[in-house]
């Protein structure tokens, strides 16, 4: 019998140009929004106050906290890309939220491997650049971010 352990990819397994579709999606709930927003001490009424938000244009309703969207989008990629093979997240950049996410929307995430190189200062490790895109159930892009991750290389003999 063979034991198979779920893990992310080692540096050598990342292929520039590969696109990963992370499933299942995650349906955003009011509870997600309220909990995340209050846990992070964000008092923005656009996330918490239904009466205030209803009177605001152009959306007329509460918006999901964009940091929840970003966190959930990156989190959706962990099982396929970085679980157990990540050394450290080095940074996030080029973050944009071109369309809001609302309660009841489902967030679907895809990741494109855009670059990789061996680390010049950390033997046995490499740096991968990953472009994450989040779409709602209609395919509308709601979030984008570029993530730089320090990854383990394959162990010798693996």
What is each CA distance from 97 to 44, 51, 92, 153, in whole angstroms? 17, 24, 14, 33
Q: What is the pLDDT of residues 108-135, one digit of tens each?
A: 999 999 999 999 999 999 999 999 999 9
Contact criterion met (CB below 8 Å) for 106 and 33: no
Sheet architecture: strand order including 141-152: 19-27, 106-118, 125-135, 141-152, 86-96
Mark the ranges of the chain whose per-residue pLDDT is less than 70: 157-158
Q: Whole-model pTM?
A: 0.93
């Amino acid at each position: 019998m063979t034991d198979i352990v779920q893990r992310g990819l080692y540096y050598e397994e990342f292929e520039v140009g590969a696109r990963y579709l992370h499933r299942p999606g995650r349906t955003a709930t009011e509870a997600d929004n309220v909990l995340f927003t209050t846990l992070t001490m964000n008092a923005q009424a656009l996330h918490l106050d239904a009466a205030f938000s209803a009177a605001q244009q152009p959306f007329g309703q509460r918006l999901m906290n964009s940091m929840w969207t970003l966190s959930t989008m990156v989190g959706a990629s962990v099982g396929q890309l970085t679980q157990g093979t990540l050394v450290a997240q080095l940074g996030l950049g080029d973050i944009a939220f071109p369309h809001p996410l609302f309660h009841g929307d489902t967030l679907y995430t895809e990741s494109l491997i855009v670059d990789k190189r061996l680390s010049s200062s950390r033997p046995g490790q490499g740096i991968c650049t990953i472009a994450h895109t989040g779409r709602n159930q209609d395919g509308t892009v709601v979030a984008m971010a570029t993530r730089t991750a320090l990854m383990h290389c394959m162990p010798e003999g693996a």
